[in-house]
Structure 1
Amino acid sequence: MRTSTWIRQHLAALRALLVLTVITGIVYPVAVFAIGQLPGLRENAEGSLIERDGKLVGSSLIGQSFTSADGRAMAQYFQSRPSVAGYDPLSTGASNLGPEDIVDTTARTSLLTTVCTRSKEVGDREGVDGSRQFCTKDGVGAVLSVIGPRDADGDVSRPVRVVSVNELCPAQPFLTTFRGVAVECAKAGEDYSVGRIIPILGDAPVVPAVPADAVTASGSGLDPHISPEYATIQVERVARARGITAAEVRELVAAHTDGRTLGFLGEPRVNVVELNLDLDARYPLRS
């Protein structure tokens, strides 16, 4: 290859590099930034940040925890849905536990018991029935290990031992007997997987008073929204804590409730972050 040809090819490559750098590295980013500053887009482009008195207090797209230093729910605020990520944008994510995660271990609490515990806590806090199907009255997963010979279908028709696997001794099991066999509490560190694991439905309402978003975390761990149903059961508590009427609180809840996106996508939702900030602005705590 002649030297002049080699130089021309490299000059062409250099020109292409410079042109593409200007287009993709300067023109395109500037154009996107400019479009993002248009009315109606600027708020989202800036991260939906919320300022009060010149101070950054949060984002309308990222939830917050409204608890005291010891982790207790603060009575004057609406509570967000649980977050596995602790509402930390740098550790966003879910627990990745599924509906079959029902047995507690020494290493961690099962998803079922986590849901049962949260439901009881919310019920006690809000003064509603916190019972759920497959949960004991004490707020753990109602699960038995039925030990004994199995038939062709894998069922244990004549158990020789039955253990409530999520209730550690000396707890009193939620059932006295199962198929004629006394139910035992579980001993720490003992493995009961040899038995057939059976969740017990119980007599809780089919539709619990505590909604699902009050006891389960979102996939991102950053969701700032709760359902109107969860907001509704919190109204009386917040009103008492702030010394205002429930009607005044409901009015603010309605103001911060969004309908389905485009009228048919998703579900109605309440932005807890914006709602709590509005409560502080309109009805600050009385000393």
Structure 2
Amino acid sequence: MRLPAWLAQHLAALRALLALTVVLGVVYPLLMVAIARIPGLSGHADGSLLDRDGKVVGSALIGQSFVDDQGNPLKQYFQSRPSAAGDGYDPTSTSASNLGPENVVDTLPDPSVQDDEGKQGLLTQVCARSKAVGDFEGVDGSRPYCTPGGVGAVLAVYADHAVSVNEACPAAPFVAQYQGKPVQCAKPGEDYSDGTITPIRGDAPANPVVPADAVTASGSGLDPDISPAYAALQVPRIAKERGMSEADVRKLVDEHTDGRTLGFLGEPGVNVLELNLALDRR
């Protein structure tokens, strides 16, 4: 007996659904799991986890901070780049800061509001990090368009005066005058957008000692690597804290430096967690 056309079509669709369910819902996942269990691939499939003394301490693919309970960087470890993911390197909150080159003006904290910390623009974040890294490593942390105090050197210029918009009163502005006009400190809550916003370069070197990846977060906020330049900056501190020679520390850095992908994509990177584990094993 020949089935009606509509019923034959429905049965054909049902058979296709069952076949695709078995192939794509059962066979394919099991095949992928089997491939992932192949020696040499299983570690990557499990998340490239790293352990110390049998205890998992992190993943080679996800960065982490090396700080104490108060959030202060540990001097005996290489430090990672900044992270904007949650409170730092949070895989459940991976993100960038969404700040761009035009974010040079801070929202100053209002002293009349309890626990108001204001909001730093990208420039001040970079300046503050550069100063902090410079102080921590004992090098020059100055940077173009940054004040000696580690905030963005930005003026709102008016006809008869200028305002250092990122330095709250009663702070003394980083410059006393600009083009013959007196410079004033900024008052929290004031709107200076009607002035001409003017970043001031200052006399910092064109090539700062502190590398860019030490003061900027990655797009994901989870980058496990730092640049060889940032690793090299930290070598003297690590050698001093661990009682090692700088040559031995540099050798470990070289051993944990990955080259460009395929020889030409991206930049060389140093995996911070792997490097710190190697230091502990020494």
Q: Distance in 1 between matches of 2:183 and 2:12?
A: 82
Which residue in the other structure is 1:151 paired with?
Answer: none
Query: Percent identity over the alignment?
Result: 66
Q: Distance in 1 between matches of 2:7 and 2:230?
A: 70
Q: How many residues align?
A: 270
Q: Distance in 2 between matches of 1:88 and 1:169?
A: 36
Deviation of 1:3 after TM superposition, in Å, equals 7.2
Letter in 1 for 2:146: C
Which residue in the other structure is 1:157 paired with?
Answer: none
Deviation of 1:172 after TM superposition, in Å, equals 1.2
Q: Distance in 2 between matches of 1:12 and 1:276?
A: 60
Unpaired stretches in structure 1, ≥5 consecutive residues: 149-159, 283-287
Which residue in the other structure is 1:88 paired with?
Answer: 90
Q: Distance in 2 between matches of 1:53 and 1:234?
A: 26
* Secondary structure, counterpart of 1:182 in structure 2: strand
Deviation of 1:188 after TM superposition, in Å, equals 1.4
Q: Distance in 1 between matches of 2:23 and 2:164?
A: 66
Deviation of 1:104 after TM superposition, in Å, equals 0.4
1:75 is the counterpart of 2:75: yes
**Which digits, 9 at most, give the CA deviation of each residue in 1:86-125, with x for residues without a partner?**
1010000100100110000134111100100000000011
Which residue in the other structure is 2:182 paired with?
Answer: 182
Q: Distance in 2 between matches of 1:25 and 1:4?
A: 31
> How do 1:205-224 residues align onto structure 2 when only pairs under 5 Å count?
205-224=205-224
Q: Distance in 2 between matches of 1:105 and 1:184?
A: 17
1:42 is the counterpart of 2:53: no
The alignment's C-alpha RMSD in Å is 1.5
Q: Distance in 2 between matches of 1:135 and 1:161?
A: 20
Q: Distance in 2 between matches of 1:6 and 1:220?
A: 51
* Secondary structure, counterpart of 2:69 in structure 1: coil
Which residue in the other structure is 2:129 paired with?
Answer: 118
Unpaired stretches in structure 2, ≥5 consecutive residues: 109-117
Deviation of 1:42 after TM superposition, in Å, equals 3.0
Deviation of 1:205 after TM superposition, in Å, equals 0.6
**Which digits, 9 at most, give the CA deviation of each residue in 1:60-80, with x for residues without a partner?**
000010011111110000000
Letter in 2 for 1:193: S
Q: Distance in 2 between matches of 1:128 and 1:168?
A: 27
Q: Distance in 1 between matches of 2:137 and 2:202?
A: 22
Deviation of 1:171 after TM superposition, in Å, equals 1.1
Which residue in the other structure is 2:276 paired with?
Answer: 276
* Secondary structure, counterpart of 1:234 in structure 2: helix
> How do 1:1-287 residues align onto structure 2 when only pairs under 5 Å count?
6-85=6-85, 86-106=88-108, 107-148=118-159, 160-282=160-282
Deviation of 1:271 after TM superposition, in Å, equals 0.3
**Which digits, 9 at most, give the CA deviation of each residue in 1:208-258, with x for residues without a partner?**
000000000000000010001000110111111112221221111111011
Q: Distance in 1 between matches of 2:104 and 2:4?
A: 74
Q: Distance in 2 between matches of 1:161 and 1:140?
A: 20
Which residue in the other structure is 1:155 paired with?
Answer: none
Q: Distance in 1 between matches of 2:197 and 2:7?
A: 75
**Which digits, 9 at most, give the CA deviation of each residue in 1:11-40, with x for residues without a partner?**
322221110101110111122223333454
Deviation of 1:7 after TM superposition, in Å, equals 4.4
Could you state the TM-score of these two structures normalised by the residue count of structure 2?
A: 0.92
The answer to which of 10-19 and 100-109 deviates more is 10-19
Q: Distance in 2 between matches of 1:3 and 1:43?
A: 54
Deviation of 1:6 after TM superposition, in Å, equals 4.9
Deviation of 1:4 after TM superposition, in Å, equals 5.5
